[in-house]
Structure 1
Amino acid sequence: MELKKRIDDILNKFDLKMNENNYHLYKTALTHSSYVNEKEPDAEDYQRLEFVGDAVLELAITELIYKNTNLDEGNMSFLRQKLVKEDTIAKIAIDLGIDELILIGLGEDRKRQSLLADVFESVLGAIFLDQGYKTSLRVVRKLFFDLIKKCQNDITQIRDPKSLLYEYIQTDSRNIMKFVTIRDQILPNNRHLFEVEVVIDDVVYGRGKGHSKSEAEQQAAKDALSKIAKT
């Protein structure tokens, strides 16, 4: 069976061997809804396995970041966000050859980034159900460890919270961020005390105070990163 052999080839890259009774998991992980509609109406598409794989990937990435970096919670959250970006995962899927195995209907683009990212996660979900979490973690480690170290170095070179927050929101091009001065108080010593809010997509994410607008913006960005890390 050609598909099974090619799945085995991918698993062999991680020194894994498929449990024969679980071949259906891997086939399902590679099956797009358009293929089900056109060729196998009784089959299941990859979406449920994608749900599983998404959770496994986030947990594994979180564990690897915690154990292999000394970043604080805000930077850990920022790093995780960078690692699970759609384009990053899609590139990994192509490097593994997953794009060539997707069972897909006519008119669909197997190179579409969102599809590749989804199918990678569904394959990881299949590995988790077939082999367990420890094996899934080993797969994620092999694929992401070098990238974790590279991104960590990039983050540590960006020291100020405002720059980090800008980097964070750029992981989603739809995000619009602005800093709004809500108070400019003149103190008895004639110094100003500014209070600033950072607003992302019309939602207030953080507030900060400082004797200059720049200082207040940095404090607001720090507050926002702290709150984002807890979501």
Structure 2
Amino acid sequence: MNFLQNLLSKSRSEANGIFFASLEKILGFKPKASNYYLRAFTHRSMQEKNEFGHPVNYERLEFLGDAVLSTVISTYLFENSPDGNEGYLTVMRSKIVSRKNLNQIGHDLGLVDLLITNMPEHQHGKNISGNLFEALIGAIYLDRGFKFTEKFIQKHLISAYVNLSELEKKVTSYKSLIIKWCQKHKFEFDFCTKADDGKDHEKHFSVCFYINNELVSKARETSKKRAEEKAAKRAYYALQNKIESKSLNI
């Protein structure tokens, strides 16, 4: 029985009790304004509306939580990377609040288990855990204020997942990296992309990546962006020794 089915089998007060008992185990504190947290886990598929006819779901809280996260992480980086310039701070922030990272945090906290939705799990989308984490941050901010939320982020994100020295080495975009390398050494490069329907039900894109008119890598994905990123990643590993040794020979 999923969480929604479990809730529907109970009275409203009993269902809310189950929800908040589970939530408090994750949060480590008791919420004051319960309505924010119920909204933070309500999917748009429930089609709930308030007395003014406005949708009630986690999406607006997700927007707010994203802004709060950005502010907290920016402050953390500003205080802990005194030698970092604006470009460095921006890159490091994007690594910390990357969708992959937030999805992992949301997954580790088990947030999807509390999702109130009418949709089957396979239709939630691959970013649902990260979306819920941002919505939860938004709810905590409205319930407890900035300082309290900052401490929550410090405990559940920064202390648990952030290692600046390791993050400096982490590549977030192989496409950007390989393009910068080519531009630095004045190499001609081209991502030759075309739609590729093939035998799949879902549309795919095929990419051939060339440097100085020489084929370096190929990739195929369900979006042009992912296909180019995969081709760039394969190119990076094919040329890794040359890139890291600063060799000019392809």
TM-score, normalised by the number of residues in structure 1: 0.63
CA drift of 1:113 comes to: 3.2
Report the residue type matching 2:130 in the other structure. A
The residue that corresponds to 2:173 in the other structure is 169
Deviations, residues 148-184 of structure 1 (Å, cap 9, x unaligned):
652x21355x5xxxxx8xx3434xx799836448xxx
> Relative to structure 1, is the Cα distance of residues 175 and 108 closer, same or farther in structure 2, using a 3 angstrom cutoff?
farther
Is 1:3 the counterpart of 2:19 in the alignment?
yes
Structure 1: 5+ residue stretches without partners:
159-163, 182-193, 202-213, 218-231
Letter in 1 for 2:70: E
Partner of 2:56: 44
CA deviation map 1:34-59 (0-9, x unaligned): 133xxx46560111111110100100
1:35–1:146 CA distance, 2 compared to 1 (3 A): same
Which residue number in structure 2 is paired with residue 154 of structure 1?
166
Identical counterparts, % of pairs: 26
**Distance change >3 Å, CA 115–CA 93, structure 1 → 2:** same
- 2 CA distance for matches of 1:35 and 1:176? 44
* Structure with bigger RCO (C-alpha 8 Å, 6+ apart): 1
Shift of 1:94: 1.6
**Deviations 1:48-89 (CA, angstroms, capped at 9, x unpaired):** 111110100100111111112233322211111111111211
Residue number in structure 1 paired with 2:75: 63
**Residue number in structure 2 paired with 1:116:** 129
The 1-side partners of 2:162 and 2:128 are apart by 27
Report the equivalent of 1:89. 102
Structure 2 residue runs without a partner (length 5+) = 1-16, 192-224, 226-242
Distance 2:145 2:122 in 1: 31
Question: Equivalents in 2 of 1:68, 1:174: separation in Å?
Answer: 26
Is contact 1:86–1:113 with CA below 8 Å preserved after alignment?
no
- The 1-side partners of 2:161 and 2:71 are apart by 14
Deviation of 1:10 (Å): 1.7
The number of equivalent residue pairs is 172
